[in-house]
Amino acid sequence: MVIRIGRTLPPAASPFHFMDIISGIAGFFEGGAIVKRFEDELKSFFEVRYCFAVSSGKAAFVLILQALHEIYPERDEILIPAYTCYSVPSAIVRAGFRVRLCDMAPGTLDFDFDRIEEELENPRLLCVIPTHLFGMTADVERIKTLINRRDIFVLEDAAQAMGGGWDGRKIGTLGDVGLFSMGRGKVFSAVEGGIILTDSAQIGRILEKRLAAIKGYGSIGCLKLFLQAVALLVLINPKIYWLPKSLPFLKLGETHFNPSFPIKRLSSFQAGMAKKWKSAITKLKAARSANANKIAGYGIKLPGVCRGTIPDLIRFPVLVADTETKKKILQKSERMGLGISDGYPDSIDGINELWDLSGGNTFPVAKDIAGRMVTLPVHPFVNDNDVRDIVHLFQERSYVEK
Ligand SMILES: *Cc1c(COP(=O)(O)O)cnc(C)c1O
């Protein structure tokens, strides 16, 4: 590991202000009403009948999957992309269901739709999880068409795409039920948090009942969130970030499979921090989009751009020529503090704890993506010099895939 002292970009960031923490404290003293108000604002913005705010995207996943299972109890398998965030299989295992994988279409971060049809024949399949990875829009409509009246739900994983749009519609509302994350590296952060959206009365009522039985954070939990918020506010700054990054016990940027995590309702502290979510998301999106467009302007290509425009990204994914190139780029970025990072360490079938899951199937495209994917930072701390330095690294090497 390289220890670097000096300006260092984090791979992703959704910075907030000191005033947001103050607003969190005010929210804490206001209590439950502020959480309700936050949920009501989300409902009206996303034009859905039900919205529930919880402790994380993973918690949202577990609650949704259990609710869907209540509707079709004979179905207990969940189909996800073979290349996605490790939180997804973690939540599926936590909820007590079985992970099924579908490979990706070459050159994209979306399902291979030729392969997915076969999976949809599975009588135990409960739901399919199209995922807007890094903000790259997944084709939810196409999955809905392929499902065609079967008793299979579409759960839209918009953990990385809160506030994004698609064809004039709002991401997160394209499936039967959708979720956002308000974790650290996501579109918008309240330290941690998850949001469930659905317009289905059937799903919504079950979730309402289940949510009523779930506890909040309590005062100690809120105090912890407050301390985390203060730490985050200071440490995420590129001037300071080299420090937490050099402390191995913080395990920054590491991705693990871990099915044990708390499931709570969002706290009033977090709802207070999220009070200005709409304007905050607008500003964060504008800053990221400007950086993403600059990077693209230098000729760096996204894997499978939708309709020629660049979607709202939280990281700019790039497929480089081979694993060797990837290693070199990551090493160089590490030395220069450029915040270029790995996507996820492996395809989902490569997670040891899930060794029995593929049934002998292989997922060569997902494996290949894991070997060649790097992501470039686009967050508001990234300035024009950083963009030039980042792009320069790619121009030095012939990074483009063959
Ligand atoms: C982050 C993430 C999740 C989980 O959200 P948390 O709030 O971190 O639990 C789920 N899916 C994807 C694609 C994610 O990026």
Query: Over its length of 402 residues, how does the chain's per-residue pLDDT go in tens digits?
Result: 667 889 999 999 999 999 999 999 999 999 999 999 999 999 999 999 999 999 999 999 999 999 999 999 999 999 999 999 999 999 999 999 999 999 999 989 999 999 999 999 999 999 999 999 999 999 999 999 999 989 999 999 999 999 988 778 999 999 999 999 999 999 999 999 999 999 999 999 999 999 999 999 999 999 999 999 999 999 999 999 998 888 877 777 778 899 999 999 999 999 999 999 999 999 999 999 999 999 999 999 999 865 668 999 999 999 999 999 999 999 999 999 999 999 999 999 999 888 777 677 899 999 999 999 999 999 999 999 999 999 999 887 666 544
What is the whole-number distance in angstroms between the Cα of residue 220 and the centre of ligand 1?
Answer: 24
Task: From the CA of 60, give the closest atom in ligand 1.
Answer: 9
What spacing in Å lies between the alpha carbon of 60 and ligand 1's midpoint?
9
The letter for the amino acid at 401 is E
Q: Which mutation among 85, 99, 256 tests ligand 1's pocket best, with the greatest number of atoms within 8 A of CB?
A: 85
99 residue type, one letter: V
Task: Confirm whether pTM is higher than 0.85.
Answer: yes
Which ligand 1 atom lies nearest to the CA of residue 132? 13
Task: Extract the tokens encoding 398.
Answer: 């012939």
108 within some domain:
yes
Atom in ligand 1 nearest the alpha carbon of residue 131: 13
pLDDT at 168: 82
The set of protein residues with a Cβ atom below 6 angstroms from ligand 1 is 56-58, 84-85, 87-88, 131, 157, 159-160, 181, 183, 194
Is residue 275 assigned to a domain? no
Distance (Å) from CA 58 to ligand 1 centroid: 6
Query: Residue 261 CA: which ligand 1 atom is closest?
Result: 9
The C-alpha atoms of residue 302 and residue 216 are separated, in whole angstroms, by: 40
Tokens of 121: 């024949």
Task: For ligand 1, atom 6, name the residue with the nearest CA.
Answer: 57
The domain that holds 76 is classified in CATH as: 3.40.640.10
Instruction: Identify any residues that bridge with 169 across adjacent strands, giving them in sequence order.
Output: 166
With respect to residue 260, please indicate whether it lies within any of the assigned structural domains: no
Structural domain count of the chain: 1
Provide CB contacts within 8 A for 141, sequence distance 6+.
Answer: 174
How far is 171 from 157, CA to CA, in rounded Å? 9
Nearest CA to ligand 1 atom 4: 57
Biggest CA–CA distance in the chain, Å, is 58
Nearest Cα to Cα of residue 394 among 315, 306, 309, 301: 301
What integer pLDDT is reported at residue 217 of this predicted model?
97
Q: How far apart are CA 197 and CA 211, in angstroms?
A: 13
Residue 288 amino acid letter: R
* Per-residue pLDDT at 304: 81
Give me ligand 1 centre to Cα 43, in Å.
21
> What is the separation, in whole angstroms, between the first and last Cα of the chain?
30
Between the CA of 61 and the centroid of ligand 1 the distance, in Å, is: 9
**In-domain check, residue 312:** no
Q: How far apart are CA 293 and CA 312, in angstroms?
A: 10
Which pLDDT score, from 0 to 100, does residue 354 have?
86
Nearest of 176, 94, 88, 99 to residue 133 by alpha carbon:
88
What is the amino acid identity at position 298? Y
Q: Of all helices (H) and strands (E), which one includes residue 293?
A: helix 277-297
Residue whose Cα lies nearest atom 1 of ligand 1: it is 159
Distance (Å) from CA 155 to ligand 1 centroid:
13
| Token reading at 92 | 């599926």
Decide: 248 and 1 in contact? Cβ < 8 Å.
yes
Give me 314's structure tokens.
Answer: 């939280």
85 CA distance to ligand 1 middle (Å): 7
The CA distance from 285 to 192, in Å, is 19
What is the bridge-based pairing of β-strands 373-377 and 315-319? antiparallel
Residue whose Cα lies nearest atom 2 of ligand 1: it is 159
What Rg, from alpha-carbon coordinates, does the chain have? 20
Q: Domain limits at 41?
A: 18-218
* Residue 283 vs residues 14, 121, 231, 279, 280: alpha-carbon distances, Å: 10, 43, 22, 6, 5
Which residue from 103, 98, 104, 160 is spatially nearest to 127, judged by alpha carbons?
Answer: 98
Q: What is the pLDDT of residue 2?
A: 65
Q: Which of 65, 186, 228 to mutate to test the pocket of ligand 1 (most atoms within 8 A of CB)?
A: 186
DSSP E strands: which ranges in 74-122? 77-81, 98-102
What's the CA angle centered on 20, arms 260 and 40, to 5 degrees?
Answer: 70
Q: Is 330 a domain residue?
A: no
CA 329 – CA 320 distance, rounded (Å): 9
Q: Which atom of ligand 1 is nearest to the CA of 56?
A: 7
